[in-house]
A = this chain, B = another copy of it.
Amino acid sequence: MTYIETLGANAVIAKKALACADTRTKNNALAEISAALISNCAEIIAENAKDLQAARENGMSVSMQDRLMLNEDRIKGIASAVDELIKLEDPIGKIDTGSVRPNGMRITKVRVPMGVIGMIYESRPNVTADAATLCLKTGNAVILRGGKEAYNSNKCICSVMRKAVAKAGLPEDIIQFVDDTTREVTTELMKCSKYLDLLIPRGGAGLIRAVTQNATVPVIETGTGNCHIYIDASADTEMGVSITDNGKTQRPSVCNALETLLVHKDIAEEFLPAVKAKLDEHNVELRGCEETIRILGECVKPAAEEDYATEFGDYIMAVKVVDSVDEAIEHISRYSTGHSECIVTNDLKNAEKFKQEVDSACVYVNASTRFTDGGMFGFGAEIGISTQKLHARGPMGLYEMTSNKYLIDGNGQIR
């Protein structure tokens, strides 16, 4: 057996006890994890310091170092997210539908755990605790493969959680850590369909692509967001400026931030200077089409084709003036990653057309794309934002981490 096969086999044994555990047992384990994160805070920070030291030596950017860094406040934040998770409804055992067939047979569709979930993610060490506790609550065993930049932090958090789980009487192998960050082992994990039921990659476009290209385990693609806003001719300029500014500058590094601004030609002369004045407050770099440059002047760089296809994740925005809502929809259909798009309009027909024809997980009328988030949608927690159409699309909460089973009760029915 290879290393990954051993982890897989361990997970398959552990998942059975977890699948049968009642909500109280799972919540007790979560409470133990929350307490253990706090009581082992110093140790976690010490291990995190090793990762930070390596990051500095390897010349990691300051903003990336910040994503990697853990301090007491942040660990308390992670623990309190676990406390919140305890309060959420357990989806396992929930009855979706049921019927009694004409022959008297009773069919019940119930939610069950997926089984074993593989998580492959990048630098932020809080994902280790988030993913593991979301899996625990939904009865899934998890195999965690974090980024090598956070290796020491992830390993320590994982070890703390395993001890806490054991203390609550559940098998510690419901949470396992891939103690090997080589590409070969990661690829093996993606192909380990004998033991894994689902793979969730969380990270940039490169990671997602590598997983979808190589995996034989079913995958949910998450989180690449080339999000658009379209300012219709009938838009309220002030609202358009406010939503564009919020989508671009409130937190530019996240997947639901805006990347491209499309403006109807009839409002461009009024709207573009207004939005530029606002975006200038955050020194947003604009890359525009010819018409944008004609209106705003040479301070706007010309947009290359690839700018429209890029998720900048930064204070940069591509801009294009369009002739119609149809041209806007056409542009979105060509460049979007299917995450979140917004129309600002006062025209009912155009609003309906945009909602009908834009093929993305979340389509907004007059509200910021920054709301695409499990918490904001009222799900309480999320494991990621799916940009695929299979299984789950949009923010994935606890329910989306489960599968179903049909239970059929009869008294001798045959066909």
A residues neighboring B (CB under 8 Å): 16, 19-20, 99, 101, 105, 107, 109, 112, 114-115, 193, 197-198, 212-213, 216, 218-220, 236, 239, 242-243, 245-246, 250, 355-357, 359-368, 370-372, 376-378, 388-391, 393-394, 403-415
**Please, which residues of chain B bring their CB within 8 A of the CB of A388?**
197, 218
Q: Smallest distance from the beta carbon of A196 to chain B beta carbons, Å?
A: 11
A-B contact pairs, 10 of them (CB 8 A): A20-B356, A99-B377, A193-B212, A218-B390, A362-B405, A365-B410, A367-B412, A368-B413, A376-B415, A393-B405
A20 to B109, CA, bound (A): 31
A16 to B333, CA, bound (A): 11
- Are B414 and A242 within 8 A (Cβ)? yes
- Are B405 and A363 within 8 A (Cβ)? yes
- Are A366 and B246 within 8 A (Cβ)? no
Residue ID in chain B nearest A105 by CB atoms: B367
**Please, which residues of chain B bring their CB within 8 A of the CB of A363?**
405-408
Contacts A101-B376, A367-B413: A389 and B213 contacting too (C-beta < 8 A)? no
Most buried by B among A20, A216, A360, A370: A216
Q: Smallest distance from the beta carbon of A63 to chain B beta carbons, Å?
A: 20
Contacts A362-B408, A367-B410, A376-B415: A391 and B393 contacting too (C-beta < 8 A)? no
- Are A242 and B412 within 8 A (Cβ)? yes
Chain A contact residues: helix, strand, loop or mixed: mixed
- Are A412 and B105 within 8 A (Cβ)? no
Q: Smallest distance from the beta carbon of A215 to chain B beta carbons, Å?
A: 9
**Please, which residues of chain B bring their CB within 8 A of the CB of A16?**
357
Residue ID in chain B nearest A412 by CB atoms: B239
Q: List 7 extra interface pairs beyond A114-B389, A365-B407, CB under 8 A.
A: A105-B371, A115-B389, A365-B410, A366-B410, A367-B413, A372-B406, A394-B406
- Are B407 and A355 within 8 A (Cβ)? yes
**Please, which residues of chain B bring their CB within 8 A of the CB of A368?**
410, 413-415
Residue ID in chain B nearest A220 by CB atoms: B390
- Are A414 and B243 within 8 A (Cβ)? yes
**Please, which residues of chain B bring their CB within 8 A of the CB of A112?**
359
**Please, which residues of chain B bring their CB within 8 A of the CB of A20?**
356-357
**Please, which residues of chain B bring their CB within 8 A of the CB of A114?**
389-390
- Are B362 and A389 within 8 A (Cβ)? no
Q: Smallest distance from the beta carbon of A331 to chain B beta carbons, Å?
A: 15
**Please, which residues of chain B bring their CB within 8 A of the CB of A370?**
414-415
Instruction: Please pick, from B236, B245, B359, B406, the residue contacting A362 in the complex, using a CB distance under 8 A.
Output: B406
**Please, which residues of chain B bring their CB within 8 A of the CB of A359?**
19, 112, 115, 405
A101 to B372, CA, bound (A): 13
- Are B246 and A415 within 8 A (Cβ)? yes
**Please, which residues of chain B bring their CB within 8 A of the CB of A411?**
239, 366-367
The 10 closest A-B pairs by CB, nearest first: A367-B410, A246-B414, A389-B403, A391-B391, A370-B415, A218-B390, A367-B413, A239-B412, A362-B406, A368-B414
